[in-house]
Chain A
Amino acid sequence: MDMKRDYYEDIELFSSGTILFWTVVLLVALFAAPLILSNYHAYLFNLIMVHVIVAVGLNILVGSTGQIALGHAGFFAIGAYATVLLMTELSIPFFAALIIAAFISAFFGFILGLPALRLEGPYLAIATLAFGLAIMHIIGHVELFGGRQGLMAPALNIGIPQLGLDWEICSEKGKYYLILSITILMTLFAVNILKTKAGRAFVAIRDSDIAAEVIGINLTIYKTLAFAVSAFYAGVAGGLFAFVLGFFDPFTFHLILSIIFLVMVVVGGLGSVMGSITGAVLITYLMYDLFKNVDEIPVVGDLMVAVSEQWLTVTGMDNFSMIGLGLVMIGIIIFEPLGIFGAWIRVKKYWKTWPF
């Protein structure tokens, strides 16, 4: 049903008119959205888009290359701190700082990729986890990074102040357009990279690294490249995240954030860019909006407050988001291991082949 007849059909961006149409509708809707969004929702959308960038990048590493990564909050932190420090300490313009920060992050990804060449499975999981935590501790102990007090992001000036080109973005909606454009660019890049030589090498490594090596793929280059690309994405996202939040400290980048990133990719569906985007949207909405304000949901909220007062504690109810995330993680592996994308494929196949 999705047969590809030649190479050009395989690499084209929109495989059918329907997909092109709905993509255009989605883009128009996204660009028009600020007209009706409140400030809080613009903030939430910004957060979602930042997470989309991370999830798309992490998907290249976890979904396409098959490496386990539990330390992406580390790259995210490197991106955030590097962007802000380059802007405040060296007064580099925003875009240049963002790109340099992303390359610094990619360099760290390359470094982490080196030991990862020899590790696999649980050992790789623990090594990446250790990396994420180590970054958090190092940032917390160095004065330049603001220590435990954290850092304040400077004003978001996307012009070049040295040349007198000032373009300061203050409102949430201004940031929304900036982040949206970057997110679209990064997503396009991810979709395309998976159709190049490098992308196909990643997939071959995932399916069997020994077979990939036999057919002439240089594992050293492509595994470290996968780490570097993924870290680049996390770096860009981190740089934007610094301005979405405005203020951050080392504990913003705790282990839990790495877990949230991984869950986005797993829930969305491994190896699919569209899946990662859906996963990031869903998990960010659940974690940062629905579960966080669970006591404000009409009936369920009252019930939960009552339960808390009776048997548990009301102050501890903020932790419901953890419980919710845990249940989502367990549920998705038990009931739908391929994630939302897998469910979508099943539904699509059912309707295409109906009534058989």
Chain B
Amino acid sequence: MVWAGMDPAVVQQVAREVSVCAQDVRASLRRLDSLVVQARRVWWGADLKRFESTWRSSARATLSRAGSDLDALAASLRRDAEQQLETSRASADGGGGAAGADGGSEPPTNLGLKWPWEDDDSPHEKVYSGTVADDSFDPLDNFQGSFGDCWMISAINGLSLNDTGDDILRSRVRWDEAAQGYWVKLLIDGVEEEIFVERVWDQGGGRKEEGWFWSIHKKANLISLFEAALGQRFGADVLTDPKTIGLAWTDMVTMVTGQPTHAMSLQDRADFAIEVDFGLTEGNAVVARTANLDQSGGLQSGWDPDTAQTVMASRESNGQLTEAVQLVGSHGYTVVGVDAQGNVGLMNPWGRDNPADSGGVFYISWDDFQDNFDGAVMVGES
């Protein structure tokens, strides 16, 4: 085929190579970060502080920006090539043809069917200017996809419960009309870094859309953007296990929200209630984590409806605990408050209509909370 103005195959190849260069820049950044950490072990005092400050404010910031700029450039090249292909197809009387066969006709797993990640582990759902709309911040609609980032979604849901937290989250993403993507802020090692996000994972977290399939249809939103940014910066595995980059889940919460976290004690009900009340009033979020509740000997964070831990709950504060709900093991929940009876209000990041607790807020007794949860953190400055 003769191309007018551009050979899209070559431009797509250039885009891929620009992406590789962006990854190389980030790899260099990570290597330099670790060198700085090495220096910190054997160097103290004002000179070290000056060195670190210079590194962060100049070289590191420049490199970080270069990586993101290269991402944006690659995205722009891909877009141009796609447009050229569409134009050429239209003018070539259907030349390209449809991709055709549904991948489903491949032989199955033990017969050779590929698992989704074997083909392509990268995000491929395109974002658009409405990806972060007002309803992206409704915590009752957010839900976790197939990544193990309950910690992040619970923190985001907690912050979305009030205007202060909501403003914090909104300030961390911005749409770039020219580049047709989002710049997403991550607080890495004390420095804000902006990651350009053009595509998100369709199996990741997002917003549950009202629909005929029990509201499960997913729409990309703020959560999808943070997942993509973290995945681009550190690799997808970090979403499930932050330890792959030597961090705790609380460090990741800080990275995404830009807010510090503080461990809370679950020893005393009154102390916990006061702390939660004060924190939420100040616009903070509280995330609590269940212990490993799996009684089936299966996956640590798996959930089996037949063996999951069941507790009694109320849908209202100070209500009767008459509804049975199931708790998911090794799982982060948003704490929405502690009522006058001492019952703890929780929200599962699995969202509305989920099979464990049906979604929404539910209150469980302090005893059940203490028995099943092994930690909680406050997310915010207070």
Query: Are A and B part of the same complex?
Result: no
Interface residues of A (CB under 8 A from B): none
Using a CB–CB cutoff of 8 Å, the interface residues on chain B facing chain A are none
